[in-house]
Chain A
Amino acid sequence: MKSISLYEEGTSFVHDVDPITKLWYIPFAILIPIILPLFTVSFLLIGLSLALLLAAKVIRKTIPVFGFVFLILITVVLIQGMFKPENETVLFQIGPLTMYKEGLLFALTITLRVINIIGAFMILVLTTKPSDLVEALVRKGMSPRIGYVVVSVFQIIPEMMATMSTITDAQRARGMETEGKLLVRIKAFLPLLGPVVLGSLINTKERAMALEVRGFNSQAPKTFLYEEKTYQFSKILQMGMLLLTVAAVVWRIFL
């Protein structure tokens, strides 16, 4: 079955890190460059994230994501470079367009931050099985209901898409045109919505009943089929990140 999860299976040490630790890495990677606004720090963190993605052998999967983000970042660079109010120092000119140093430096800061954030998220998303992350969070005390919602989305959305294509085929078999001009496609889309939406509502009702009789709302303390995974160095990594953050704050204040 097609999955909408971006998770890539692997055996690297990044895959073996506790999902909670990877979750902690995201605020860590976002906060440090804010506390210490130096390009060196940003570059260091981006380097770290990219190195981890490389080590996990998932760097290829990040290309489309970064590609999309770069598209937006280019507009940031152009607009800030040309029109930032503080712009004074002319860096270079292409025809009638003038690029300024202040704007470009600011755009660079934004670009680095964005790459940094995306990198940190990618480590979590690409190397952690969604169900592992949710199970870890549920064990830490998150409501199993929220956990269910998060995990089931990854399977139920593709299921709905499969239903949609079945209905499309059924309508096509009855002579509906589904290909061709935009107007034809829009017309073909409407009769699909009814069955898909109503069908989903009915399915949701039935699924809710099936969950009820399987003790979904049971007050009993939940148990788990799998033993809690033990991860090495979780505490050390989490403490390390905390200490580094504190150190960064101290450095910022006193130095």
Chain B
Amino acid sequence: MKRIVVEGLKYKYPLADSLALNDVTFDIKQGEFIGIIGKNLAGKSTLCQALVGLVPHFYKGAYGGKVFVGGLEVKNHSIADISLKVGMVFQNPFTQVTGSKMTVYEEIAFGLENIGVPRSEIIERIDSVLNLLKIEQVKDHNPFDLSGGQMQRMAIASIIAMKPDILVLDEPTSQLDPAGSEEVFQAIQSLSKQGITVILAEHKMEKIAQYCDRVLLLNNGKVVDFDTPGKVFSREDLEEKGVTAPVYTRVCKALGVKKAGTDEYPVTLEEAERVLRGDGA
């Protein structure tokens, strides 16, 4: 079942000269884990925001084409309606703190109160996301007193608690250390396994290669490729598009070893190890 359908999406920010998104077309099935990659200003954030309706409702600007998420056409529905289906986590954790709540616990409740979730369920959901993102120990702290990483987990928790069918994450681990990123990715993966569709814009290519089912490569607002990590990261023109392949892929490329029977280089540590050891390759 298709959860997201984007057809010929074109978008230009107000006062901008060029298109931020230029004729973007793709679709995503229920439960897929999708990575969006591309250099800075390639349109990753804009595309993420187009999926929750911030583009065009928040920014206005010139908009063409169609975006359907969970059966709703974005252009004809308010952000409040879309936010019930699609949750979005932004890059900067500091500005995602509402500022109206005194504790992390209350902060996570903010969205749930707004959409009218009954009290008993609010508490249940908060407890489960605190556990999922491992921030139980700071639940009574003031949100502004958290470290960047904790704040980022709180931002993700606040959105996950709203139980969207589709989760859009725009560089959600920028403030986290490697161990923290890994934990967050695993939490997201477990949600993905529960059937939630995940769209993730990231610069950490090793993580993208490891977790994503498919990768959408953007360059100058256009879709260059939308395929499995193996196919996308094996492209010869990757560097031109401003993307560096995972380190395992680069090593294997330098050594000239491909996965047996395919035209792809390994993209994860496990694949690279298997190929380089020569067993089962």
Which of B83, B84, B95, B100: most chain A Cβ within 10 A? B100
- The CA-CA distance from A156 to B98 in the complex, in Å, is 9
Is the pair B115, A220 in contact by a Cβ cutoff of 8 Å?
A: yes
- The CA-CA distance from A152 to B95 in the complex, in Å, is 12
- The CA-CA distance from A222 to B114 in the complex, in Å, is 5
B87-145: which residues lie under 8 A (CB-CB) from chain A? 87-88, 90, 92, 94-102, 105-106, 109-119, 122-123, 142, 144-145
Tier of interface size on chain A: 20 to 34
Choice from B96, B112, B145 contacting A210 with Cβ under 8 Å: B96
Q: Residue A159 at the B interface, CB < 8 A?
A: yes
Chain A residues with CB below 8 A from B79, complex form? 212-213, 217
Chain B residues with CB below 8 A from A203, complex form? 94-95
- The CA-CA distance from A209 to B111 in the complex, in Å, is 13
Q: Is the interface of A mostly helix, strand, loop or mixed?
A: helix
A204-255: which residues lie under 8 A (CB-CB) from chain B? 206-225, 227
Chain B nearest Cβ from A122, distance in angstroms: 22
Sampled A-B contacts (8; CB under 8 Å): A131-B101, A152-B99, A212-B54, A213-B159, A215-B115, A216-B114, A223-B116, A223-B119
Known contacts A159-B144, A220-B116; can you find 18 more A-B pairs with CB under 8 A?
A: A131-B102, A148-B98, A152-B98, A155-B99, A155-B100, A206-B96, A208-B58, A210-B95, A211-B98, A212-B79, A214-B110, A215-B111, A217-B79, A219-B80, A222-B116, A223-B112, A224-B119, A225-B105
**Which of B's residues lie within 8 Å of A, judged by CB?**
49, 52, 54, 58, 78-80, 83-84, 86-88, 90, 92, 94-102, 105-106, 109-119, 122-123, 142, 144-145, 155, 158-159, 162
What 9 A-B pairs have minimum CB-CB distances, sorted nearest first?
A: A214-B111, A220-B116, A206-B95, A215-B114, A152-B99, A225-B109, A210-B96, A215-B115, A151-B100
